[in-house]
């Protein structure tokens, strides 16, 4: 392993998107991550070595309803620096692996909890998904075209950014603080709060009276003709983001509109005219025609690539922004550090592939391991 977190031990209790994403980020940065899989997953779906959300770690399979497995989990927590869980509030306490029990065996542990609504409050234990957290946080309402329902931005915002990535920030902050105090602590990462935090700029615009139109009618939500996507002759799209006057001037030059009598860039009354004009011109060429024409300019016009195309973009190729892991092309570790760079991630393990190895590393003897396997407390990949 390589990276700035080399030597940091992470115990990940496998769960949905935010937890494995947080663990992947830590593994990419060099942390030694052990994923705790369900004991019955060893006989489930086949291993996916190219799974981006499971790369670069080892796996142990435990039956967390088995008392001996709980003892194993606590023993693993003794030597861990970080524990990440994403169960509903109260589940880990009920199992006997909550913060109280884990910090009792390891006072230096950073115990990270990722949940939808947070660990307390009237709705803490309610079910929810990314879209629900976006809806309640105020993030969803401004997204989408005018006159239509809000558009779900996949599950990027709450699950991955507001949940997983925010948890990593909390974990790194707690690890840094531990260097001074010598003590661990609990990181409570709520996706609804993480999503709200991502909308900080929007709240500033609201306070300044700069976000007043309906959905799809403001500067950054597709309302501005110079900050939106347009269809091209081949049915594909270009993204236009010429916000500043000098970039807007380059846009007009590339579209051949410098000498046209057009409304001013920030004359909102004239935006419909600009939109129709830009749309008509861009519809005369293909996406790649426009990408070639605007290449090397400051017009901020780029092709809208689909996920399979993105790794072939010249900038991505030059910087090796995508890597092959387990036979699958996927995003490379980020960000990049000059002195302690991350290496290429290893493939995702099969559930339980390292059960014996992890137990031996935690001090379990061969006889103990054999008995844990026989009792069903742990499982080993076939």
How high is the pLDDT of residue 137? 97
Where do the domains of the chain lie, and which CATH numbers do they carry? 9-198+322-379 (3.40.50.10540), 227-314 (3.30.1540.10)
- Helix then strand count (H, E) for the chain reads 14, 12
Catalytic annotation, residues:
129, 159
pLDDT per residue as tens digits for the range 283-330: 999 999 999 999 999 999 999 999 999 999 999 999 999 999 999 999
pLDDT per residue as tens digits for the range 151-192: 999 999 999 999 999 999 999 999 999 999 999 999 999 999
Answer whether 0.85 is exceeded by the pTM: yes
User: Please, which pLDDT band fits residue 1 given cuts at 50, 70 and 90?
Assistant: low
How high is the pLDDT of residue 112? 98
Q: Is the pLDDT of residue 89 over 70?
A: yes
How high is the pLDDT of residue 45? 65
User: Please, which pLDDT band fits residue 272 given cuts at 50, 70 and 90?
Assistant: very high
- Rounded average pLDDT over 252-278: 97
- Rounded average pLDDT over 22-41: 97
Q: Is the pLDDT of residue 47 over 80?
A: no
- Considering the chain, what is the average pLDDT of its residues? 96
pLDDT per residue as tens digits for the range 115-135: 999 999 999 999 999 999 999
Q: Which residues contact 266 (CB under 8 A, 6 or more apart)?
A: none
User: Cβ(245)–Cβ(177) under 8 Å?
Assistant: no
Q: Is the pLDDT of residue 216 over 70?
A: yes
Reduce the DSSP state of residue 345 to 3 states and report it. Answer: coil
Q: Is the pLDDT of residue 48 over 90?
A: no
Q: What is the 3-state secondary structure (H, E, C) of 83-128?
A: EEECCCCCHHHHHCCCHHHHHHHCCCCEEEEEECCCCCCCCCCCCC
Q: Which residues contact 325 (CB under 8 A, 6 or more apart)?
A: 49, 50, 52, 55, 344, 345, 346, 347, 348
């Amino acid at each position: 392993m390589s990276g700035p977190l080399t030597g940091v031990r992470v115990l990940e209790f496998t769960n949905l998107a935010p937890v494995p994403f947080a663990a992947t980020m830590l593994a990419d940065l060099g942390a030694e991550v052990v994923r705790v899989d369900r004991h019955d997953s060893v006989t489930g779906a086949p291993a996916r070595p190219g799974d981006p959300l499971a790369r670069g770690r080892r796996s142990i399979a435990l039956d967390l309803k088995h008392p001996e497995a709980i003892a194993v989990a606590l023993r693993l927590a003794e030597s861990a620096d970080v524990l990440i869980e994403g169960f509903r509030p109260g589940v880990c306490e009920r199992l006997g692996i909550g913060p109280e029990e884990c910090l009792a065996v390891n006072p230096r542990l950073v115990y990270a909890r990722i949940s939808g609504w947070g660990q307390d409050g009237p709705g803490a234990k309610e079910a929810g998904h990314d879209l629900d957290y976006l809806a309640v946080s105020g993030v969803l309402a401004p997204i989408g075209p005018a006159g239509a329902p809000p558009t779900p931005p996949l599950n990027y915002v709450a699950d991955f950014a507001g949940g997983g990535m925010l948890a990593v920030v909390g974990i790194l902050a707690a690890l840094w603080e531990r260097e001074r105090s010598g003590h661990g602590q609990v990181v409570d990462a709520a996706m609804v709060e993480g999503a709200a935090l991502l909308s900080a700029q929007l709240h500033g615009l609201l306070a300044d009276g700069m976000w007043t139109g309906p959905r799809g009618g403001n500067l950054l939500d597709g309302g501005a003709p110079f900050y939106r996507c347009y269809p091209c002759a081949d049915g594909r799209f270009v993204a236009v983001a010429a916000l500043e006057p000098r970039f807007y001037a380059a846009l007009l030059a590339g579209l051949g509109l410098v000498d046209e009598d057009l409304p001013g860039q920030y004359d909102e009354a004239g935006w419909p005219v600009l939109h129709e004009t830009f749309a008509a011109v861009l519809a005369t060429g293909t996406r790649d025609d426009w990408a070639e024409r605007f290449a090397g300019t400051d017009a901020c016009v780029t092709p809208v690539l689909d996920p399979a195309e993105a790794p072939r973009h010249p900038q991505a190729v030059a910087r090796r922004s995508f890597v092959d892991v387990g036979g699958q092309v996927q995003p490379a570790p980020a960000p990049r550090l000059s002195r302690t760079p991350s290496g290429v991630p290893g493939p995702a393990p099969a559930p339980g592939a390292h059960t014996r190895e992890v137990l031996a590393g935690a001090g379990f003897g061969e006889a103990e391991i054999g008995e844990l396997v026989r009792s069903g407390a742990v499982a080993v990949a076939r």
